[in-house]
Amino acid sequence: MAPAPTPSGFSFSSSGSSPFSFSPQDKISKQPQSGPSTFSFSNSSNTVQPDASTSASKGTQQLPYNMEYSSHFEDDIEILHSRPYAYKKSEKKKWQSTGRTLCTVSSPVGGELATWVTKKPSSNPNESSTISEPMRSVSDKTIYFTALNWLPQPLIQLYTESHLLFTSLQQIVAESHSRRLPSVGLDKVAEAWDKRGNLVGIEGLLGPPDAETIMHMRRLADLYLDQLGDLKNNHEIDIELRTRFLTSYNILHLAEVLYLPVDGKGEGLVGEEILDWVNDVDPAPDNSQGNEIMSTRNPWDHPSFFPYISRCILRGFQLPAASFLRSLSNHQHSPISKLASLLAQHISVFPRSTEERWRVDLDFLQAHKSWLAKFRAEIVNFTGGKSKGKWFGDDDKYQSMESDIRTIIELMEGRPTRILEEASDWKEALGAWGILVDVDLRRDHLPEIMSMILDKIPVDSTIPEDSIQSALCSADIIKALMGCYDLDIWLSAHLGDLLDQLELIPDDEQRFEIPLRDYFLLEYTEALQNQPKYSAFWRVICDYLNYAGVEGRNRLRSHILRISIGLDGESKGKKRQDNDDQHEGMDIEESDGDRDTNGEGQSKEIEEAVRLLDEVRAACGEFHLEEEFKLISQILAGKLIRKGEYGMAASMSMMASDGWALSRIAEKILDSYITEGDEEFLRLVDTLPPTLLSEAPTALAELQAQIDPVSGLPGLPATSAPSVFASRLTFLSEFRDYLLFLNQGARDRAASKLVSLLTSGIAPISIWAVLLVESIDLLEDSEILFSSNETFELLRVLEEVKSNASFAPSDYLDQLTQYLRRSFTADEMPDSKKVGYEEGWKKIDQVRLALARNLARSLVNGFDSPF
């Protein structure tokens, strides 16, 4: 058996008695190729459709492509021939002599390969590489893209549809555990330890599923078979792939017959079910051959007459066998015609356990026993003690026919030696055993019977399907599953899951560090992750990893973090700006249709990204991965902040409960006011979630109201993350109201709001100077908008700004200088065309003068006089 790949957290150790030999460094690709691959760009006369896809591109021009496949069995290497051909097969050496060679790089995700023609390194290090004959049929700039792990559509259909059945099975088993848990005593729970010394989960104490659960599991297995059956019967699918589906169907069907009985108990007779499976897997005898035999004048003279009857008896077709035997009633030799009529009469009433007349199995067994006794008695009576070879007289010409009829009689009697001699393979022998030899055949008897059959009719080890099926019948579950793993990873994962739920997979701790079922599920998910379009399977992968034990849960956490969510795409404005920068100085016209198309495309991408985000959030909630979703939200928020999408970034920061990110967003939006003006600021604020701004003042008030009962001080310092982001968001909300009041002409309310911003402690110190400069226009208003008390408060803030700015000008004056740079018109711009701290200090002096004037006016007019 080929070595199996070993994932992290799972290893195999070989032993002397073990048929397995696993090595961590032996890595093979399970499907579709069975060995290492090399590439050839020559033509080939042997063309087969592979499980791979390729494409070639040259700049923006798409070239026609195709893939051809041929296997070099002597080297066990798979060669892929890509089109368009770089050279003819007969011109390979000539092509190489031109100084050309191939380079290939692989994608870290999906297993795709990009291959191109390049210069062959020169043998002389002092000489540069050169290429002769530059004009060729295919340009050297052609890039060939090859997807080795490409999945055909039928496999995608199977993988997506069977995923729903897999999750349903896990839910059914979980409900069964919940239903049966009350029956487990506490004394059993206290003593439940496994061989490694670990406490076993409660479900491990329940034993195999009950009959009701097994019946539900069989229904799901039937649905698996229905999916495989539809695919194997679809003639539009490639013949190789249909053969693969057929093989999986036959194996899964046999497992269902043996381990998922209809009644859920498996105590009934199983012979008829096995025979039905044999007839379904390998239909025989051929109806056309039977019609050909019966169309002859004397059918018994046909060389296949008696072998055909024997095959009918072995396959359980008693009525056709009786019809053939009745044709012997026309034989000219009377003893032969009489015996044939006797055999036809008895075989036509051969009892079968599937007949509805039997109330219980015991009735059938007694009927078969009576039939067999009567049949043997009449045979003895017919022969009358005649010796072998004398049944039909002394004429030697009937000895051959006597031997053939004797074979039929021994088959009807159910003699094991005759069954094993006449059966074409072990499957036919097993199918006949349950209706001819041991009509009381039960599932528990199969391993012993298989041992007897295989001693006489060994399994053809060159046919993997036969080895797997014989292992299932022999109850060698591990051998069967390992064979399925080599055959089809989907089959090993889902069959292993079914058998593990039945607790039929033994715990082999010497070779397996994790349960075999979990290993197959992990391998299956890895195969899905290695597909070029693996993102379409992300939710499927999540479910399989979630049910793949501890290692699966660990991989699930890693997998969920790597799902690509395209919320961080470049904004339309930025893309257009970049495009304008690239084409500066060029006259470029963009039609309305192009703009509409770009906008609709971007809108659809955002909608898809939001939908995917909702699905990821729901998955994280279902799998209890709240911390992982917070990390996803933090990552997306950071990307969106860098792209300037502050509204979405704020939503993601709220999901992540990331106060520092919200503070960054608030600072970015505030910077937009400094550099862009009030219109851009209001636009960005409107993109924020409304609840975020409306709830920020309440949250800040609650934080400020928290008092430490021991120290009597606020429980959270002013610089804590919750306080910082709450104060920043509150400032955005209040400053927005200030700007709206100004735009609406409510200057008195704007003045009151400005004083509140500077005195409430929610404004960042970096913007104090800007707010003070903003007050100049209001202070110089014809009406007195600030009371003397409010003016004194503004003077206090002004003094604090001046005293602190003298030794930390960058903290207090940087944003003011940026604000002034935006505010100055071309005429007002200083000669240096650069606004620095000097202009900032001048503006501070103007604020001081305006405050002094307003204070004098308010005192003279008696407006809110402090005296």
Residues 690, 623, single domain; the answer is yes
User: pLDDT value at position 244?
Assistant: 94
Provide the pLDDT for residue 326: 94
Q: Are residues 707 and 686 in the same domain?
A: yes
Question: Do 19 and 479 meet the contact criterion of CB atoms below 8 Å apart?
Answer: yes
Average pLDDT over residues 565-572: 63
Position 608 scores a pLDDT of 87
Helix (H), strand (E), coil (C) string for 536-582: HHHHHHHHHHHCCHHHHHHHHHHHHHCCCCHHHCCCHHHHHHHHHHH
Find the mean pLDDT for residues 362-390. 88
Least confident of 282-291, 469-478, 683-692: 683-692
Q: Which amino acid is at 588?
A: I
**Residues 181, 239: one domain?**
yes
Using pLDDT thresholds of 50, 70 and 90, give the confidence band for residue 80: low
Examine residue 768 and state whether it is found in any structural domain, yes or no. yes
Q: Which tens digits make up the pLDDT trace of 613-657?
A: 999 999 999 999 999 999 999 999 999 998 888 888 888 888 888
Same domain, 650 and 501: no
How many residues make up the chain in this entry?
A: 867
701 alpha carbon, distance to own chain's centre: 47
747 vs 7, residue with greater confidence? 747
Residue with tokens 């056309």: 288
499 pLDDT above the threshold of 50: yes
Model pLDDT, residue 88 = 73
**pLDDT reported for residue 306:** 95
Task: Give yes or no: residues 226 and 352 share one domain.
Answer: no
In this predicted model, what pLDDT tens digit does every residue of 815-851 receive, in sequence order?
Answer: 888 888 887 654 455 554 566 888 889 888 999 999 9
- In the predicted model, is pLDDT for residue 19 greater than 50? no
For residues 784-789, give the mean pLDDT. Answer: 88
| Whether residue 300 is found in the same domain as residue 388 | yes
Residue 17, pLDDT score: 34
Question: 648 in a domain, yes or no?
Answer: yes
Q: How far apart are CA 346 and CA 340, in angstroms?
A: 10
Q: Identify the sign of the CA torsion 26, 30, 34, 39.
A: negative
| Angle of helix 538-546 versus helix 516-529 axis, rounded to 10 | 170
Find out whether 322 and 341 touch, Cβ atoms under 8 Å: no
Q: What is the Cα–Cα distance from 503 to 333, expressed in whole angstroms?
A: 61
Give the C-alpha distances (Å, rounded to integers) separating 437 from 99, 212, 420. Answer: 74, 32, 11
- What distance in Å separates the CA atoms of residue 225 and residue 656, rounded to the nearest whole number? 44
In a shared domain, residues 685 and 764: no
Per-residue pLDDT band at 34 (split at 50, 70, 90): very low
State whether 141 and 164 are in the same domain: no
Q: What is the pLDDT of residue 202?
A: 54
Summary mean pLDDT of the chain: 80
SS (H, E, C) 373-435: HHHHHHHHHHHCCCCCCCCCCCCHHHHHHHHHHHHHHHHHHCCHHHHHHHCCCHHHHHHHHHH
Judge whether residue 280 has pLDDT over 90. yes
Q: Is residue 454 part of a domain?
A: no
Rounded to an integer, the average pLDDT of 471-486 is: 95
The boundaries of the domain holding residue 249 are 153-266+477-561
Instruction: Check whether residue 83 and residue 228 sit in a common domain.
Output: no
Res. 756: pLDDT tops 60? yes
Q: With 90 as the cut, is the pLDDT of residue 102 above it? A: no
H or E element: which one contains 343?
helix 334-348
Query: Given this model, what pLDDT does residue 601 score?
Result: 60
Q: Is residue 467 part of a domain?
A: no
Q: Give a yes or no: residue 310 inside a domain.
A: yes
User: Is residue 472, in this structure, part of any structural domain at all?
Assistant: no
Instruction: Note whether residue 458 is domain-resident.
Output: no
- Residues 322 and 418 reside in one and the same domain: yes
Q: Are residues 281 and 413 in the same domain?
A: yes
* pLDDT category of residue 110 using cuts at 50, 70 and 90: low
Pair 644, 574: CB distance under 8 Å: yes
Decide if pLDDT at 718 tops 50: no
The predicted pLDDT at position 24 comes to 33
User: Among residues of the chain, what percentage have pLDDT more than 90?
Assistant: 43
Nearest to 55 by CA among 146, 122, 116: 146
Checking if the pLDDT of 386 tops 50, the result is yes
The pLDDT of residue 436 is 96
* pLDDT of 407 higher than 90: yes
Q: What is the pLDDT of residues 206-249, one digit of tens each?
A: 778 999 999 999 999 999 999 999 999 999 999 999 999 999 99
Whether the pLDDT of residue 172 is over 80: the answer is yes
pLDDT at 27 over 70: no
723 pLDDT band, cuts 50/70/90, is low
Three-class SS state of 555? helix
Q: Indicate the pLDDT class of residue 184, thresholds 50, 70 and 90.
A: low
What average pLDDT score do residues 348-365 get?
Answer: 93
82: nearest Cα among 58, 50, 55: 55
Please check whether residue 447 lies inside any domain of the structure. Answer: no
- Give residue 181's pLDDT band: very low, low, confident or very high (50, 70, 90): confident
pLDDT at 612 over 80: yes
* Domain final residue pick, 441, 460, 495: 441
Structure tokens at 584: 């500066």
Domain boundary among 717, 744, 771: 744
- The closest alpha carbon to 222, from 196, 247, 257, belongs to 257
Region 5-26: what's the mean pLDDT?
33
Lowest mean pLDDT among 12-21, 122-131, 457-466: 12-21
**Peptide bond between residue 416 and the one before it cis (omega within 30 degrees of 0):** no
pLDDT at 74 over 90: no
Q: Are residues 330 and 257 in the same domain?
A: no
What burial class does residue 522 get, using C-beta atoms within 10 Å of its C-beta: 0-12 exposed, 13-18 middle, 19+ buried?
Answer: buried
Name which residue leads in pLDDT, 76 or 470: 470
Q: Please tell me which of 193-207, 309-323, 567-581, 594-608 the model is most confident about, judged by mean pLDDT.
A: 309-323
Phi, psi for 227 (deg, rounded to 5): -65, -45
Domain's final residue, options 711, 744, 777: 744
Domain count, the chain: 5
714, β-bridge pairs: 707
Instruction: Work out the average pLDDT over 669-677.
Output: 89
Average pLDDT over residues 449-454: 96
Residue found by looking up tokens 């008897």 in the block: 445
Tell me the whole-structure pTM to 2 decimals. 0.76
